[in-house]
Amino acid sequence: MRTDIDPVHTSLELLHAWAEAMEPWWLPWQGQGLFGCGGGHWGVQAAWRHVAATAVLAQAGGPRAAHWRSRSLCGLRALLTGHHSGGGRMPDGRRWGHAWIGILGIERAWFAIRLLRPHLQPEDHAAIDRLLADEAAWLCDDYERDGVRGITSTKWARDRGNHGESNIWNGCFLWRAAEALPQHPQAAAWRQRAHDFLCNGICVQADLDDARPVGGRQLRQRVVGPGFFDHFAFDHHGYLNVGYQVICLSNAAMLHFDARQAGASTPESLHHHQADLWNVVRRTVFADGRLARIGGDTRVRYAYCQEYLVPAALYAADHLGDGHAMDIVHGWLRTVQREAVFSGDGTFYRRRLEDLAARSPSYWLRLESDRAGSLAQLVAYLPDARPAPAAGDAERSRAGSWAEPEHGAMLERGPQRLAAFAWRAQGLAQGMCQPPQDGDLAEWEGNLVGRVDFADLKPGPERRKLLAHDQASFPGGFLTWGRLALGCGSAADEGWHGPADGQAVHHLAIAALPDGRSMIGIELVRTGGTVALLRGAGALHLNLPNDCFNGMERTLRTAQGDLRLQAGSGEGLVPLDSRWAGLAPGWSCIGLHGGTTLAVDRSRQRRGGHLRSLHVEEVMWGAWQGPRLVQPDSVVLDASWLVRCGGEDGDAAACAALNPAVLLPAPPAVRLVAVRLPGSASYVLALNTGPDAVRLPLTGHVLAGTGAELPGYGATLLAMDA
């Protein structure tokens, strides 16, 4: 375990500065007051997290302790009054509660009520009990989400029942209510309903046949359907959602620690498949504590779901026996410190999210309070945690393979490389190949999938459709291939619309090679039967974040020398006049065929995600920009590339010299790329972009695919003799 930082002391320092910075956002209300904008689901939750943060500050003592306790008590009382059971309203004129997400705020702040109990009045205790009983009754008798009544659990979000995360927090709340009100006539019913919710949290197909008893009933009698895939992929919000896998872990963690501190019991269903899920999640966390969102993200980068890795990691260290989980907490805390210094005013995000704070203060306050809430949890829970001892190397403990074929996801992690690809990522299709130590290097949107920009008034992820995908694993790597329709339904001025089924097809083959360092990709984009209107295109599309976490500057090493990129200092496509580039220590990329130079697409504005929360440089191969009219059945991109992790500074130049920018001879529909790596290892990747099977003149050891017999739209990877 890392001991070079005091988590409690550091968290309290950050919380003190944050709470002072948030004072302008204190809203007096009916003799009390609360934090934030006065209502709405997320406004209520932000207010709860402010209650928690100020309760922790009060408990810690100091010259402002009485002030923070007053803030916490006033906020708590305003929230209790504004609930359906409280007889009053929130400042926005509404009451809160009786919603699938209503009790999440109180779940995340329950430890604060324990801290405040010595200072509560009898009427406060009564109001808390009324809220518990009222919400428990609603969850038992009237629960619905998205217009569907009752507990639901489906693998696919499109089936409107992929609700594992809320099933867990609702189950935890019901158990909490039963423990707090054991004499209530419905307490036993609440416990049974809690088991039902929790068993439908992290549940897989095999649970439907499992006769193990849970709370007096068989597991299969409680589970209504699988909510996770067999290997614990989660399709929440319609994409491979690592962040909400973490949320599922975090809510179990909160009840686990709250119950320990209160001397209360926990349900046997609380830990259902939590260890299985953690075994997947821990491979999608960088060594510095950042989430590796291998399936993308609709959220602000390094925020929200990221924060709830803190209780999840504490739980993993304490209950699941992961001796290296505390390293994650320390890494996260260092990132929080770094950004707080960058903000410079006590807030966590003011400077990086300046645009969001101006456009949507309520969303910004939600994110600020998320981070404060997790720091408060760290202060509250850590003294009672019993972390397992660390054994061996942390990075090697997270190494290994993972795949979910049905969802189209693969991961291979080793000491030098974290390689992944997900077809059903946010926006469809993204890859990752980077050192596993440094989350500063990760921006996932469309990463390692060439970009084609169509003339479009409202571009978005819905303009792409997944046509087909397949995959295969082998020791030390993987191969995946498939096709995307691009430019579906694009709209321009004067009533022009692109065809609904797309203007082009993007063929892809991506292979993580068994050397533990490299990834190779082949891309071909061809227009369909109609004219296409394009604004630009480029293969590779490797995202390179360039923000406060790396000092707002990146230096690329190229054949022309070093190129310094100051964040936000340029716009448009900058050619590098080089086939290779060193992107960061131990990380490089090389263009193979289909171009003459790498280029960097730059932007003065932050553009990471739709909320524009991160400066990103985009490294392209064979790229061009500017409006073009492209004829039917024309090639837009035809390229291949290599990304490398580890190695010395000269590795990229040496590797480029070993691999001239040519294709191997092959039938017209086939792209055949050979790669020779330093040390004489050689591989051939083949992709058939046509519907007809072909036989290739290849010999070598087949790692994945069908070898020389290449089916229509198939791919294969071979290791060649030295």
Whether 3 shows a pLDDT value over 80: the answer reads: no
Instruction: Give the integer Cα–Cα distance in Å for 624 and 630.
Output: 13
pLDDT in tens, 42-87: 999 999 999 999 999 999 999 999 999 999 999 999 999 999 999 9
Ranges of H-type helices in 88-218: 104-116, 122-141, 164-180, 187-199
Q: What is the DSSP letter of 241?
A: -
* CATH numbers and ranges of domains, the chain: 7-384 (1.50.10.10), 409-661 (2.70.98)
Q: What's the mean pLDDT in 19-25?
A: 98
Calpha distance 600→603 (Å, rounded): 10
Q: pTM for the full model?
A: 0.96
Cα 678 to Cα 296, 496, 518, 556, 699: the distances in Å are 32, 51, 11, 21, 21
Instruction: List all residues 6 or more positions away from 350 whose beta carbon is below 8 Å from its beta carbon.
Output: 21, 343, 344, 357
Look up residue 216 and give its two tokens. 């007096």
Q: For residue 217, what is the enclosing H or E element?
A: strand 217-218
Do 78 and 29 touch, CB atoms closer than 8 A? yes
Question: pLDDT category, 497, cuts 50, 70, 90?
Answer: confident
Any idea what the Cα angle at residue 233 is, between residues 250 and 466, rounded to 5°? 135
Amino acid at 530: T
Instruction: Pull the structure tokens for residue 390.
Output: 């660390």
Q: What is the pLDDT of residue 662?
A: 84
pLDDT tens per residue across span 76-108: 999 999 999 999 999 999 999 999 999 999 999
**Which residues lie closer than 8 Å to 684 by C-beta, 6 or more apart?**
664, 672, 673, 674, 675, 698, 700, 717, 718, 720
Average pLDDT, the chain: 95
Query: In the block, which residue shows the tokens 């360092």?
Result: 517
Indicate the range of 64-78, 217-231, 358-372, 638-652 predicted with least confidence. Answer: 638-652
pLDDT of residue 276: 98
Give me the mean pLDDT over the 528-549 stretch: 96
Instruction: Give the whole-angstrom CA distance, residue 682 versus residue 722.
Output: 7
